[in-house]
């Protein structure tokens, strides 16, 4: 079984400042990793994913994440946030031999002018 | 494109009542999932299906039932509603076995009083 820990429950940030959301996972087998975003009153949307290959993955809306196998981490970053990035962000993990996603508890990002 | 459609959007139930949350997708996806989202807890998998006629339990199946008679529909049934089932419910679907991208519905907010 796999699990995900998001280390920050809330992250306030000023507009145009950088943001990093931390995610650590545990699994006894190889994994695929994902970040999803949930805007207010909406379902989740995929931001980016790591399946294999380059450990630095780029997603939509200027987000990127780096897979670090030795530290079992998959932190999400954006160099300059906008008001519209205010949302809840979920890290998720799936074992390569399964098709069920396990989600973290989420990080609420609030961007202020 | 409709994507994943959930109905109703909101519902209030009394303890002991029953109801069915509807979920339909028009993308011909084989894999469908039901999650519940509780504050600070992330998303927990209730049930999933890998195709018509095939369903299986997720992490938190107690108090729920599902059926999958067609590829398009995946209803979730609550037989005897309890306050612990107050939550936001999300249906999701994916195209392939790896579930590399889930498409989510907009959710059903359920209160059991």
Positions of chain B with pLDDT under 70 = 1, 97-99
Question: Is the CB of A101 less than 8 angstroms away from the CB of B45?
Answer: yes
> Using a CB-CB distance cutoff of 8 angstroms, which residues of chain A are in contact with residue B106?
41-43
Name residues whose C-beta falls within 8 Å of residue A71's C-beta, 6 or more positions apart in sequence: A24
Per-residue model confidence as pLDDT tens digits over A43-96: 899 999 999 889 999 999 999 999 999 999 999 999 999 999 999 999 999 988
What does the pLDDT read at residue B97?
Answer: 66
In this predicted structure, the answer to whether residue A23 has a pLDDT above a threshold of 90 is: yes
End-to-end CA distance of chain B: 36
Q: What are the structural domains, with CATH classification, of chain B?
A: 4-100 (2.60.40.10)
* B40: nearest CA partner in chain A: A105
What does the pLDDT read at residue A10?
Answer: 96
What does the pLDDT read at residue B99?
Answer: 58
Residue A86: count other Cβ atoms within 10 Å of its Cβ: 17
| Under 8 Å between Cβ of A35 and A59 | yes
DSSP A40: T
What does the pLDDT read at residue A22?
Answer: 97
What does the pLDDT read at residue A63?
Answer: 97
Q: What are the structural domains, with CATH classification, of chain A?
A: 3-112 (2.60.40.10)
In this predicted structure, the answer to whether residue A25 has a pLDDT above a threshold of 70 is: yes
Q: What is the mean pLDDT of chain A?
A: 93
A32 CA: distance to closest CA in chain B (Å): 8
What does the pLDDT read at residue B101?
Answer: 82
Instruction: Copy the structure tokens of residue B64.
Output: 């729920």
Question: Is the CB of B99 less than 8 angstroms away from the CB of A103?
Answer: no
What does the pLDDT read at residue A82?
Answer: 97
What element of type H or E holds B13? Answer: strand B10-13
| Under 8 Å between Cβ of B28 and B10 | no
Name residues whose C-beta falls within 8 Å of residue A6's C-beta, 6 or more positions apart in sequence: A21, A22, A23, A90, A91, A104, A105, A106, A107, B42
> What are the residues facing A74 on neighbouring strands?
A67
Of A41, A101, A103, the CB nearest to B99: A101
């Amino acid at each position: 079984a796999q699990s995900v820990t998001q280390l920050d429950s809330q992250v306030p940030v000023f507009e145009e400042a950088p943001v990093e959301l931390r995610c650590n996972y545990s699994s006894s087998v190889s994994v695929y990793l994902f970040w999803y975003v949930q805007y207010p009153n909406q379902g989740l949307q995929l931001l980016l994913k790591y399946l294999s290959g380059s450990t630095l993955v780029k997603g939509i809306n200027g987000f990127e994440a780096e897979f670090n196998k030795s530290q079992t981490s998959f932190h999400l970053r954006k160099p300059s946030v906008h008001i519209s990035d205010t949302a809840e962000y979920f890290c998720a993990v799936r074992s390569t031999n399964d098709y069920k996603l396990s989600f973290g508890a989420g990080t609420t990002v609030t961007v202020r002018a | 494109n409709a994507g994943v459609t959930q109905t109703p959007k909101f519902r209030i139930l009394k303890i002991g009542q029953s109801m069915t949350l509807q979920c339909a997708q028009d993308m011909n996806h084989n894999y469908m999932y039901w999650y519940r989202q509780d504050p600070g807890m992330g998303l927990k998998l209730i049930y999933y299906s890998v195709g018509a006629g095939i369903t299986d339990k997720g992490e938190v199946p107690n108090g729920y039932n599902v059926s999958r008679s067609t590829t398009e529909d995946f209803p979730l049934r609550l037989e005897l509603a309890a306050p612990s089932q107050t939550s936001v419910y999300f249906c999701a679907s994916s195209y392939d076995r790896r579930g590399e991208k889930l498409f989510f519905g907009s959710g059903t907010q359920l209160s059991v009083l």
